[in-house]
Amino acid sequence: MASDKPEGPDSQHHYQLPAAAEQRHHEPHRSSSVPHRDEVYGTQIKIFNSRRMSTSTANPYHRGEEAYYDWEHHRLAAKIEVQRGRVVQAHKDLAQQEALLDRAKADLKSLEMELQDNDIKHRDQRNGGATVLTDAPAKKAKRSAHDDDRDSGDKKGVREDPQALRGILSLPLHLSLYVTVGMLKLFCTIVLCALVARANAIGKRDTTFTWGIDKLRGVNIGGWLILEPFITPSIFERFPSEAGIVDEYTLCQHLGPQVARDTVLAPHWEAWVSRADFERIAGAGFNFVRVPVPFWAFDAFDTPYATGAAPYLDKAISWARDTGLKVLVDLHTAPRSQNGYDNSGQRMDTPGWGEGESVGQMLSVLHTVAAKYASAEFRDVVLGIELLNEPAGYTLDMNMVRQFYRNGWGEVREFGDTVVILQDAFNDAASFNGWMTPADGGVQGVAIDHHEYQVFELDMVKWSHEQHRRGVCDRAWKWEGADKWTFVGEWSAAMTDCAKWLNGYLRGARYDGTYLTTDYIGDCTQYNNISSWNQELRDATRAYVEAQINTFEAGTQGWVFWNFKTESAAEWDLFALLNAGLFPNAVAERQFKRVC
């Protein structure tokens, strides 16, 4: 989720463009304030790659077609061997489970036979101690009726007279054995049920997803490992405004990294997300979560940021695996900020990513992330790695961004074939056509992430409910027509920018004329309290949500809603919308007919 994104007739961005960058908004590629990539970025890449390209694992996609195909042949051959090993291990695991089940069945059968033998002995003793072989069926039926009456009386006696329990404890040995065997039978039944449950759980964890075939139906786990004022305003409101704390950078700068981590961040990391949240997401029909993580979770590079968030990403992946969800690891921030929005970690007028060592530092972080999450250990649950969220393509040098994407793809490919996600940098998805494809250096496994909001431009905020629904159809060209897998990785139910601090901490809203404009469209008060919504607004919100889901699924690989929950921003809160019946089950029948 971005903040302070630009407005304009052709812009789908979240927030107002910082004033310092306004005049550069329509420049297609580079800003005069950003050094050319040959001056800064190219030098970083040469140094960074020369350090590693001499290794045998380096991807030679840059060396020519013949070298690439030779490398690809050996890479695929190695992967085949790994996959064969997995198949063998899976067969072994299955054989072990089947052996356990067979053993449990055999034990159950043995105990049942033992119970039957002891039952016969007990009945024979009651009939005089001799086994009578003639007329066995008739006598067995007669004894069964007699025993049923006796059992009924015994149970009644136990219920009515507690002293009867002592009688059971003092039963003869053969009767005690009768009771014990019955308990063992119950135990074996429980064991069998547990094995079946475990098998079902294993099946759920092994839920598969195929890019290009299956649909992404996901939600973002935002405001967790990177703070956003509109998601958790209480964190920022505990400090006086004169402290100047407006993002995570200024929070850590003001308190110091250790104090910020110990008193604010770590308690928030522990409390904001739980396994129960993942269970609820899966239970609502979703199959996917996008987890934004900051670069400083892996290396703070002498910045004020507090480290320590990385283990929580592992926790999220574990919860996802246990609940049958897939994960996109989203690198949401870059050193010096890639867009100047508070969700990049640092709110600033002009993004500084691309200056100094910032691009090389980001590639170093990608190397660390890919080494772990693109490995075979996470292949069952991590569907993709997003190289960088929302680089400001309207002010950064897009040649620099594209080169970073190409090198970032190489970082991931060094460790596995996990799909690489490119955020479209506020361009339309088809603008990347013909680039980073199999015909372009043999690049494969690339997807485009497009973000779509209708509340960060004044003209859109003025739209009626019907215009918002129609706007979904009219803007479909933004995400359709790409030659790569494409999905809408951020969108919301919001038709206003009324959520508190949505445009930045201590900033107002366009809707009520308190931010960037004096035009008054309406009162923001009701929008943040979902219980106060009238039926018209409830129906309009549900219809708008369904219009987006239907359109995104028809034209892309799928969608990821922003966000799973907030403290007070109802239009952005999946759980609040689900509770109110304003968000459908992700795979359920819709209430409203298609708009497009």
Residue 2 within a domain? no
Residues 435 and 310 in one domain: yes
DSSP state of 284: T
507-308-336-38 Cα dihedral, nearest 10 degrees:
-150
For residues 212 and 197, membership in a common domain is answered with: no
d(CA 371, CA 212): 25
Main-chain phi, psi angles of 152, to 5 degrees = -60, -45
Domain check: are 190 and 298 in the same one?
A: no
**Given 3-state DSSP classes, what are the helix, strand and coil percentages for the chain, each rounded to the nearest 5?**
50, 10, 40
Domain that holds residue 147: 93-203
Q: Does 238 map to a domain?
A: yes
Query: What pLDDT was estimated at residue 45?
Result: 41
Q: Determine the 3-state secondary structure of 355 from DSSP.
A: strand
pLDDT given at position 67: 56
pLDDT tens digits in sequence order for the chain, 596 residues long: 654 444 443 343 333 333 333 333 333 333 333 333 333 334 444 434 444 443 334 444 444 556 556 655 655 665 576 566 556 656 655 766 676 677 777 778 778 777 877 777 767 666 654 444 444 444 444 444 444 444 444 444 444 444 544 444 454 545 454 445 455 555 555 545 554 444 444 344 447 899 999 999 999 999 999 999 999 999 999 999 999 999 999 999 999 999 999 999 999 999 999 999 999 999 999 999 999 999 999 999 999 999 999 999 999 999 999 999 999 999 999 999 999 999 999 999 999 999 999 999 999 999 999 999 999 999 999 999 999 999 999 999 999 999 999 999 999 999 999 999 999 999 999 999 999 999 999 999 999 999 999 999 999 999 999 999 999 999 999 999 999 999 999 999 999 999 999 999 999 999 999 999 889 999 999 899 999 999 999 999 999 999 999 999 999 999 999 999 999 999 999 999 999 999 999 988 788 878 77
Tell me, yes or no, whether 38 and 100 share the same domain.
no
In a domain, 212, yes or no: yes
390 tagged catalytic: yes
Last residue of a domain, one of 203, 219, 247: 203
Helix orientation angle between 310-323 and 173-205, rounded to the nearest 10 degrees: 110
Same domain flag for 430 and 522: yes
Which distant-in-sequence residues (6+ apart) come within 8 Å of 327 by Cβ? 288, 289, 290, 291, 316, 317, 320, 381, 382, 383
Give the active site residue among 248, 490, 546, 571: 490
CA angle at residue 292 from 288 to 295, to 5 degrees? 145
Tell me, what's the pLDDT at 510?
97
Element holding 192 (H helix, E strand):
helix 173-205
Q: Are residues 199 and 259 in the same domain?
A: no
Structure tokens at 562: 């922003």
State how many domains the chain has: 2
pLDDT at position 196: 46
Same domain, 123 and 215: no
Q: Is residue 310 part of a domain?
A: yes
Give me the residues paired with residue 559 across strands: 217, 488
Concatenating the DSSP letter of every residue in 132-176 gives: --TTHHHHHHHHHHHHHHHHHHHHHHHHH-THHHHHHHT--HHHH
Residue 492 sits in the same domain as residue 527: yes
Task: Give the C-alpha separation, 253 to 241, whole Å.
Answer: 15
Per-residue burial over 142-177, b if 16 or more Cβ lie within 10 Å, else e, is: ebeeeeeeeeeeeeeeeeeeeeeeeeeeeeeeeeeb
pLDDT for 509 equals 98
553 counts as catalytic: no
Mark whether 472 and 494 lie in a shared domain: yes
Residue at 279 is within a domain: yes
b (16+ CB within 10 A) / e for 492-529? bbbbbbbbbbbbbbebbbbbbeebbbeeebeebebbbe
- Indicate whether 453 and 392 sit together in one domain: yes
For residues 150 and 240, membership in a common domain is answered with no
Rounded Cα–Cα distance for residues 475 and 467 (Å): 12
Q: Answer whether residue 111 is part of any domain.
A: yes
Q: What is the pLDDT of residue 210?
A: 94
Q: Which of 254, 115, 233 is nearest to 175 (CA)?
A: 115
Q: What is the DSSP letter of 460?
A: H
**Within-domain flag for 317:** yes
The CATH number for 296's domain is 3.20.20.80
In a domain, 64, yes or no: no
pLDDT at 202: 38
42 & 138 share domain: no
- Residues 280 and 275: their CA atoms lie apart, in Å, by 9
Helices (H), 329-379: 358-373
Q: Which of 390, 411, 452, 457 is catalytic?
A: 390
